[in-house]
Amino acid sequence: MNLENYFPVLLFLLVGLGVGVVPQVLGHILGPNKPDAAKLSPYECGFEAFEDARMKFDVRYYLVAILFILFDLETAFFFPWGVSMRELGWQGYVTMMVFIAEFVVGFWYIWKKGALDWE
């Protein structure tokens, strides 16, 4: 095993660490550091915090957020499919129709379960 083959990997890691660490160190060393009471105070919409930051959120918020991410990612597959439709042919068309059918069934399921209802 020749260690010269791993030199590009080592160089990549060193450059990556340099790009990530050097600006932070330089900013910490060269940047102004003049803390005062206003800069060190907790800030929430211009006034002092009146509740604990670790309050409970409604589960529906997380459910809607996860469903948005899920369906947003699924719809991201439509554009490359549409662009390469001619190269894919009928096999690509049928595959995408199966994908769209699964998409619609999933959307129908979460709709019937009431996951999209907001009271």
pLDDT in tens, 16-29: 999 999 999 999 99
pLDDT given at position 53: 65
pLDDT given at position 49: 62
pLDDT given at position 59: 72
CATH code for 3-113? 1.20.58
pLDDT given at position 42: 67
Instruction: Indicate the DSSP class of residue 55.
Output: P
**Domain boundaries of the chain, sorted by first residue:** 3-113
More confident residue, 24 or 64: 24
Average confidence score pLDDT of the chain: 83
* Range ranked top by mean pLDDT from 29-33, 68-72, 75-79: 29-33
pLDDT given at position 63: 78
The mean pLDDT of 34-55, rounded to a whole number, is 69
DSSP string, 69-111: HHHHHHHTTHHHHHHTHHHHHHHHHHHHHHHHHHHHHHHHHHH
More confident residue, 31 or 51: 31
Q: Per-residue b/e over 61-100, b at no fewer than 16 CB within 10 Å? A: eeeeeeeeeeeeeeeeeeeeeeeeeeeeeeeeeeebeeee
Is 58 within 8 Å of 115 (Cβ atoms)? Answer: no
pLDDT given at position 4: 84
HSE-CB for 65 with a 13 A CA cutoff: 6
